[in-house]
């Protein structure tokens, strides 16, 4: 079966209840999309967003989860809680989590296992820094992250998101040939390469979405800043049909 394009919006630490109108505006666009549409709002909005999107083609995801189902972990959210609130997916190992919270690939793997137990689809992020790329170590770094972050039995039950760290929120985008090369490399490392979706992230915007999504091994996008405004996110969703 062909891999269906997945367009994912990561709102990061943005969004208030007054922003929930975004989903009403997105509903008719998602209904006509040639892609699967997923939005990951902050945890404070997850249940409200899921309720608003019930019965639509919009899926809702979390931005992180704990390794445990419950416990004395003040401030953390478990995968079971995300599922209970209406999530279908969860982003794990984003570079901002790895950098700001010291998350290791071993921890990401444990979170991915917890997510799968809860019935969530993990979106596991990997990516190199500019220093690592300039040193010719991009494939080495991403390969090591993949090996340590993916549960051994993950198969096609996960999504991979390649986000070069130097392109996140900077306005810079990796050249198409570099994206194609990295995605082909990632696919070569997967247990079920033909069935596993690999997303590209890193300053994806309406102006470059069509070119990126047309690349052979790019199965969608993980969109940051451009997912906060309905016009720009809708344009990226529409680009998936072209």
Instruction: State the catalytic residues.
Output: 94, 163
| Closest-CA residue to 178 (of 135, 210, 133) | 133
DSSP β-bridge partners for residue 123? 91, 159
Helix%, strand%, coil% for the chain, nearest 5: 45, 15, 40
| Alpha carbons within 13 A on the beta-carbon side of 224 | 21
Length of the chain counted residue by residue: 242
Three-class secondary structure of residue 222 per DSSP: strand
Which of 137, 217, 149 shows the shortest CA–CA distance to 177? 217
Return phi, psi of residue 177, to 5°.
-65, -30
Let me know: does 150 contact 124? Beta carbons within 8 Å: yes
Q: From CA 91, how far away is CA 112, in angstroms rounded?
A: 9
């Amino acid at each position: 079966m062909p891999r269906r394009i997945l367009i994912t919006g990561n709102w990061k630490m943005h969004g208030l209840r007054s922003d929930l109108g975004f989903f009403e505006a997105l509903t008719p666009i998602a209904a006509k999309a040639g892609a699967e549409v997923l939005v990951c709002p902050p945890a404070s909005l997850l249940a409200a967003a899921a309720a608003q999107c019930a019965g639509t083609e919009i899926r809702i995801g979390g931005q992180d989860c704990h390794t445990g189902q419950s416990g004395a972990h003040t401030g953390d959210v478990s995968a079971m809680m995300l599922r209970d609130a209406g999530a279908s997916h969860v982003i794990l190992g984003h570079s901002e989590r790895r950098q700001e919270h010291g998350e290791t690939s071993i921890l990401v793997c444990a979170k991915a296992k917890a997510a799968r137990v809860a019935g969530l689809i993990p979106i596991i992020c990997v990516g190199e820094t500019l220093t690592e790329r300039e040193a010719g170590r991009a494939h080495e770094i991403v390969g090591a992250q993949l090996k340590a972050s993916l549960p051994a039995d993950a198969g096609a039950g996960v999504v991979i998101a390649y986000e070069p760290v130097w392109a996140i929120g900077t306005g810079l985008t990796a050249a198409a040939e570099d994206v194609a090369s990295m995605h082909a490399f990632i696919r070569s490392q997967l247990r079920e390469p033909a069935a596993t979706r690999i997303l590209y992230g890193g300053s994806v915007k309406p102006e470059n979405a069509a070119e990126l999504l047309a690349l052979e091994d790019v199965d969608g996008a993980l969109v940051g800043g451009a997912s906060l405004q309905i016009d720009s996110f809708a344009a990226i969703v529409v680009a998936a049909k072209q």
